[in-house]
Amino acid sequence: MAAEIIDGKAIASRLRERIAAETATFVTETGITPQLAAVLVGDDPASAVYVRNKQRACEKAGLRSTLHRLDDRTSQGELLLLVDRLNADREVHGILVQLPLPKQIDETTVLDAVAPLKDVDCFHPENVGLLSQGRPRFQPCTPAGCQYLLAESAVQTEGAHVVVLGRSEIVGKPMALLMVQKGKAANATVTICHSRTRDLPEITRQADILIAALGRPQFVTAEMVKEGVTVLDVGINRTDDGKLVGDVDFTSVATKASAITPVPGGVGPMTIAMLLANTLTAARLQTSAS
């Protein structure tokens, strides 16, 4: 049986249209245009592309976006001053600090400095705490994008065994949190794996839904999955010949999976769509709070 290809690009595009319509209504009702401020430190080409894509998506959906570029020798103090300024700016509703940051800057200190109501990446401990208690203020973008793909593809999650590969604060941990919550597209039994996990293939073969977020090109092979598994591939890796590949060996795994996301065109576009949704949520929260 050929696997269904979960078309993240098309699903994200429909979601973005919905966000654009909701944004237009919000602007008409309040006279306020939601604004995302992106902060890019240094000149990492991949980060610059990510930020540009996020900005373009904002503009297409009727949100304002501004870019604050700082050079790679920027000190932590200087970056914190900018974050403070954006926190205080009433016209800025969401703040995105593009990672990674240069070595001299402590990421946690900077992310903790973003005002929780403007934390559209959902990295602030207050927002992660709310999420873990099942009352999220913002959705963690990539994990929420994965959950949305499961819902749109009518994948049964209730009682399913979801295995998450990776325990990062950005993807793995919040992904597991979302899937274990009570509610729609959740209610799963979740296992989180990481680099110290023993006998990984034994665990991945038990997955009804496998979510790979390791940053290891084509790590998950057909031998590691069972027939009929649903596979979401979060990984974005560039091979030596410049090709973009995921954490899953797509060709072999697709022969066993019932549904699978491609790379590119799977999870990636969803991350951006969720960022737009969070920026609109942030504008709503700040408008109702003022």
> Which positions are catalytic?
54, 98, 121
* Least distance between ligand NDP and beta carbon 110 (Å): 16
Task: Return d(Cα 218, Cα 134) in angstroms, integer.
Answer: 33
- Contacts of residue 163, Cβ cutoff 8 Å, sequence gap at least 6: 190, 191, 193, 203, 204, 206, 207, 209, 210, 211
Q: Considering the complex, state which of residue 34 and residue 235 has its C-beta at the smaller distance from ligand NDP.
A: 235
* Least distance between ligand NDP and beta carbon 2 (Å): 24
Residue 196 DSSP SS3? coil
Q: Considering the complex, state which of residue 271 and residue 286 has its C-beta at the smaller distance from ligand NDP.
A: 271
**Which H or E element spans position 273?**
helix 267-289
Task: Return d(Cα 193, Cα 196) in angstroms, integer.
Answer: 8
What is the bridge-based pairing of β-strands 244-245 and 237-238? Answer: antiparallel
Which of 282, 272, 261 is closest to 5 using CA atoms? 261
Q: Considering the complex, state which of residue 116 and residue 266 has its C-beta at the smaller distance from ligand NDP.
A: 266
Q: Considering the complex, state which of residue 171 and residue 186 has its C-beta at the smaller distance from ligand NDP.
A: 171
Q: Considering the complex, state which of residue 20 and residue 244 has its C-beta at the smaller distance from ligand NDP.
A: 244
- Contacts of residue 255, Cβ cutoff 8 Å, sequence gap at least 6: 3, 222
Please provide the size of the chain in residues.
290
Which of 267, 10, 61, 14 is closest to 145 using CA atoms? 267
Which of 239, 258, 246 is closest to 221 using CA atoms? 246
* Least distance between ligand NDP and beta carbon 64 (Å): 22
Residues that bind ligand NDP (CB under 6 A): 142, 165-168, 170-172, 193-197, 200, 213-216, 234-237, 267-268, 271
